[in-house]
């Protein structure tokens, strides 16, 4: 019996036994239960103000390599984090125990820490009750996915790789998270969402291919289709050639776009601007990218995920960050907005923190061109599947360096001519966004260097590859 199939049968048996009982016994907290936890904390606290953040995470992961499942793990945790305010001082403490003694201890710890802090002149009173728009990010099929379901998908992937004389490695994970925030001024907000992710690398002796997808809805993840894509890339890049570094026309698939433009997210924060740490300092209202580049932060977009409220409990707003290449707006936490004479936008992090805020639901405007159309329109260029090991070279000019990986191809006379050895790049992101010639439809993309965003594939001119690697 093949190793992956043997493991799948074992996983199926376990899912009907202990593992299945654990899945069937997944206990999600109701709003009433989370309110009761918060009230128990408030009863223990005599601070001027008290805030409670409740988080529950249930995650399961199936890992495979060499066409064999070698790990299946699951974890469920519940935490209660308490922030107290005493005479203009604030601090936070966290526990993973729910008994009364533990809740009293975490309150006392938060109070003790608060007393040791200096007064914060920018500290605002906690917000009162808010109104939130509804988002649907919880899917039963994802929350209750079993090890056997994940194993069966991996078996199909491993068998396909084996038939193609390739080696598959990756992960398949499913889970659910819950969060709630409540305070003694009457605020209460809660959110529940699921998460499924499949990532695969297909290896050959001198080539590799990669694909990844992430969604709250397990039914939107097609492991076999992702595996086929990775397999085709690996096969197409056998015996890679070598091209000279320099300025190239490049076609970036969505994952590659994501891991580049993702580095812009904190530059739109009011705190980054006030601290002179944003690449948009002295550039707000001025064109920094092409007219075909528009960017929103929009937690309500159907391809996005996340809660409709921020770390302080304020409703998140949809914000136009860049309009036709012009940075137009920033996002603000409450205290940042007060200092900068702006309105809070619902993007603050849990207090206390030194980051302030950031847009966490970036949505780039897309176009109508497919990747195939971009290839057909290119006389000579490079197609990039993904990037990795990306680092800032110049954060104020937003120059990044990194490498291509798992599917880099020469495009010649409108077709993919073969695989290439990988490149190191040294590229300014604002310059790149000024040189976008074609855009595809925006999709929910998953990468390795950034959190998931909604981005399009791009065809970009004059992309700077600084050197060729040895693999």
Look at the chain and report how many structural domains it folds into.
Answer: 2
Residue 206 pLDDT > 90: yes
The pLDDT score that the predictor gives to residue 4 is 54
pLDDT band at residue 17, thresholds of 50, 70 and 90?
very low
Assess whether 218 and 248 both reside in one domain.
no
Tell me: the pLDDT tens digits for 94-131?
999 999 999 999 999 999 999 999 999 999 999 999 99
Q: Is 230 within the bounds of a domain?
A: no
Cα radius of gyration rounded to whole Å, the chain: 24
- In the prediction, which pLDDT does 470 show? 79
Per-residue model confidence (pLDDT) at position 27: 83
Answer yes or no: is 49 within a domain.
Answer: yes
Domain boundary among 202, 225, 248: 225
Closest to 2 (Cα-Cα) out of 199, 223, 160, 225: 160
Separation CA 308–CA 422 (nearest Å)? 40
**Letter string b/e over residues 31-44, b meaning 16 or more CB atoms within 10 A of that residue's CB:** eeebbebbebbbeb
Residue 34 domain-assigned (yes or no): yes
Residue 233 lies in a domain: no
Examine the domain organization and report whether 146 and 57 are in the same domain: yes
Q: What is the pLDDT of residue 26?
A: 76
386/267 same-domain check: yes
Which tens digit of pLDDT belongs to each residue from 315-368?
999 999 999 999 999 999 999 999 999 999 999 999 999 999 999 999 999 999
Average pLDDT of the chain is 94
Can you tell me the mean pLDDT for 79-98? 97
- Tell me what pLDDT residue 3 has: 54
pLDDT at position 15 over 50: no
Predicted confidence band of residue 20 (pLDDT cuts 50, 70, 90): very low
At 1, is the pLDDT very low, low, confident or very high (cuts 50, 70, 90)? very low
Q: Nearest CA to 154 among 68, 212, 60, 75?
A: 68
Tell me: do 108 and 189 sit in the same domain: yes
Residue 299 above 70 pLDDT?
Answer: yes
Q: What is the CATH number of the domain that holds 172?
A: 3.30.2290.10
What's the confidence (pLDDT) of residue 16? 41
pTM score, two decimals? 0.92
Give residue-wise pLDDT tens across range 208-250: 999 999 999 999 999 999 999 999 999 999 999 999 999 999 9
Domain of residue 418 covers 240-471
CA 354, 360, 366, 372 dihedral sign is positive
Q: Residues 358, 350: contact at Cβ < 8 Å?
A: no
Q: Is 421 helix (H, G, I), strand (E, B) or coil?
A: coil
Report the C-alpha gap between 405 and 202 in whole angstroms.
12
Can you give the pLDDT at residue 5? 54
Assess if residue 231 is contained within a domain: no
Mean pLDDT of 442-456: 95
177/283 same-domain check: no
Q: Which of 177, 197, 225 is the last residue of a domain?
A: 225
Do 269 and 126 belong together in one domain? no
Q: Are residues 64 and 186 in the same domain?
A: yes
- Share above pLDDT 90 across residues of the chain, in percent, rounded to a whole number: 93
Are residues 8 and 98 both part of a single domain?
Answer: yes
Asked if residue 24 has pLDDT above 60, the reply is no
Beta strands per DSSP E along 269-338: 295-297, 319-323, 326-327
Residues 220, 164 share a domain: yes
CB 203 within 8 A of CB 195: no
pLDDT confidence of residue 14: 43
Residues 263-274 have a mean pLDDT of 97
Within-domain flag for 93: yes
> Do 28 and 155 fall within a single domain?
yes
Is residue 12 pLDDT above 70, yes or no?
Answer: no
DSSP assignment of 426-449: EEEHHHHHHSEEEE---EEE--SS
Judgement on whether residues 221 and 246 belong to the same structural domain of the protein: no
**pLDDT above 60 (res 180):** yes
DSSP state of 71: E
Same domain, yes or no: 286 and 373: yes
Q: Which residue has the higher pLDDT, 8 or 210?
A: 210
Q: What is the mean pLDDT of residues 430-441?
A: 98
In a domain, 137, yes or no: yes
Q: How far is CA 33 from CA 28, 30, 39, 96, 271, in A?
A: 10, 5, 10, 16, 36
Out of 201, 225, 249, pick the residue that ends a domain. Answer: 225
Residue 232 lies in a domain: no
Tokens of residue 215, six digits:
């969604």
Task: Read off the pLDDT of each residue in 381-394 and give the average, rounded to a whole number.
Answer: 97
Question: Could you give the CA distance from residue 447 to residue 423 in angstroms, rounded to a whole number?
Answer: 18
């Amino acid at each position: 019996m093949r190793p992956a199939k043997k493991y799948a049968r074992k996983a199926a048996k376990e899912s009907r036994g202990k593992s299945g009982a654990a899945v069937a016994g997944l206990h999600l907290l109701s709003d009433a239960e989370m309110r009761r936890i918060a009230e128990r904390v408030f009863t223990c606290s005599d601070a001027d103000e008290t805030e409670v953040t409740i988080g529950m995470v249930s995650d399961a992961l199936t890992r495979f390599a060499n066409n064999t499942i070698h790990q299946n793990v699951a974890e469920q945790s519940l935490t209660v984090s308490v922030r107290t305010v005493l005479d203009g001082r604030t601090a936070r403490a966290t526990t993973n125990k729910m008994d009364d003694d533990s809740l009293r201890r975490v309150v006392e710890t938060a109070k003790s820490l608060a007393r040791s802090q200096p007064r914060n002149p920018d500290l605002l009173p906690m917000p009162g009750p808010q109104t939130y728009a509804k988002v649907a990010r919880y899917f039963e099929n994802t929350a209750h996915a079993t090890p056997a379901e994940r194993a069966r998908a991996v078996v199909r992937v491993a068998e396909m790789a084996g038939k193609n004389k390739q080696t598959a490695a990756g992960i398949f994970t499913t889970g659910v998270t819950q969060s709630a925030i409540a305070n003694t001024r009457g605020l209460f907000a809660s959110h529940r969402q699921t998460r499924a992710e499949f990532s695969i690398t297909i290896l050959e002796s001198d080539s590799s291919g990669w694909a990844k997808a992430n969604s709250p809805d397990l039914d939107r993840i097609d492991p076999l289709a992702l595996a086929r894509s990775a397999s085709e890339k690996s096969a197409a890049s056998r015996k890679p050639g070598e091209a000279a570094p320099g300025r190239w026309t490049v076609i970036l698939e969505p994952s590659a776009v994501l891991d580049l433009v993702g580095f812009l997210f904190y530059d739109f924060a009011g705190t980054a601007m006030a601290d002179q740490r944003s690449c948009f300092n002295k550039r707000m209202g001025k064109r920094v990218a092409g007219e075909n580049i528009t960017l929103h932060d929009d937690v309500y977009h159907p391809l996005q995920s996340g809660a409709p409220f921020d770390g302080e409990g304020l409703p998140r707003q949809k914000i136009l960050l860049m309009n036709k290449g012009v940075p137009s707006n920033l996002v603000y936490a409450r205290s940042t907005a007060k200092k900068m004479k702006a309105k809070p936008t619902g993007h603050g992090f849990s207090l206390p923190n030194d980051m302030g805020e950031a847009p966490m639901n970036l949505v780039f405007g897309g176009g109508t061109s497919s990747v195939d159309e971009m290839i057909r329109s290119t006389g000579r260029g490079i197609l990039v599947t993904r990037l990795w090991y990306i680092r800032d070279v110049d954060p104020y000019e937003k120059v990044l360096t990194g490498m291509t990986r798992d599917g880099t191809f020469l495009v010649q006379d409108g077709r993919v001519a073969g695989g290439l050895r990988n490149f190191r790049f040294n590229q300014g992101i604002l310059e790149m966004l000024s040189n976008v010639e074609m855009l595809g439809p925006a999709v929910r993309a998953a990468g390795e260097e950034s959190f998931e965003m909604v981005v399009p594939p791009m065809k970009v001119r004059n992309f700077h590859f600084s050197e060729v690697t040895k693999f």
